[in-house]
């Protein structure tokens, strides 16, 4: 199992990289919104497949330098990139694609819906919370936006914001391909078989 916050830190430190043979980021806003809704509701969202290797011969994206064991993300890139983008507010170092697919996601504490920023709907309405800011600042930051709301309403709001913040503590099943003798062709074949 891999905790999401640990995975994001490993991406930042250059331990988790993307092999060059992987396609770029292709998800759209509907897919990102659906992923966040599933995470919020505690639904399964799939596992990860990593290639643990010390080989320096594999071309990667997101390299931070250094040597040693590297984790190459083979399956789960679209989900990991989306979660990284929403939580960190910026694309991961290995990113290639359209970052607008995951920037500006908001959550409505009253309706429990996720939508991308729409000024005509959201400006002046404190029930819309910027999800990236929520991960940065924490849930209590938003309580001051509701000075006239009774505790019976405020408590569920806080619980909903906490449920989003706890997404970064979620554990994901992570399978690893290991073995010093594995070639890129073998690993691609394993990855393709797993995806079919």
Q: What is the 3-state secondary structure (H, E, C) of 4-73?
A: HHHHHHHHHHCCEEEECCCCCCCCCHHHHHHHHHHHHHCCCCCCEEEEEECCCCCCEECCCCCCCCEEEE
**Rg for the chain, CA atoms, rounded:** 19
- Token representation of residue 9: 């830190």
Confidence category of residue 161, pLDDT binned at 50, 70, 90: very high
Question: What pLDDT sits at residue 195?
Answer: 59
Q: What is the pLDDT of residue 153?
A: 86
Condensed to tens digits (0 to 9), the pLDDT of residues 61-108 reads 876 555 678 888 999 999 999 999 999 999 999 999 999 999 999 999
Confidence (pLDDT) at 77 = 93
Whether the pLDDT of residue 174 is over 80: the answer is yes
Work out the number of other CB atoms within 10 angstroms of the CB of residue 108: 16
> Higher confidence at residue 190 or residue 101?
101
Structure-token match 């709301």, residue found = 149
Res 43: pLDDT: 96
Residue 149, pLDDT score: 83
- The answer, yes or no, to whether residue 183 has pLDDT greater than 90, is no
């Amino acid at each position: 199992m891999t905790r999401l916050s640990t995975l994001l830190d490993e991406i930042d430190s250059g331990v988790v990289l993307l092999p060059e043979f992987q396609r770029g980021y292709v998800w759209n806003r509907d897919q990102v919104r659906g992923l966040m809704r599933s995470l919020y509701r505690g639904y399964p969202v799939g596992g990860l497949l990593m290639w643990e290797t010390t080989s320096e011969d594999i071309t990667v994206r997101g390299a931070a330098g250094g040597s040693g064991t590297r984790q190459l993300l083979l399956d789960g890139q679209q989900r990991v990139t989306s979660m990284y983008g929403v939580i960190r507010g910026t694309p991961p170092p290995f990113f290639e694609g359209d970052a607008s697919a995951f920037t500006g996601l908001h959550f409505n504490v009253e309706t429990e819906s996720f939508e991308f920023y729409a000024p005509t709907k959201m400006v002046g309405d404190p029930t819309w919370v910027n999800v990236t800011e929520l991960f940065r600042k924490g849930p209590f930051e938003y309580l001051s936006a509701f000075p006239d709301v009774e505790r019976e309403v405020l408590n569920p709001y806080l619980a909903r914001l906490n449920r989003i913040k706890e997404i970064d503590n979620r554990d994901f099943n992570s399978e690893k391909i290991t073995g010093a003798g594995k070639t890129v062709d073998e690993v691609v074949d394993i990855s393709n078989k797993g995806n079919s």
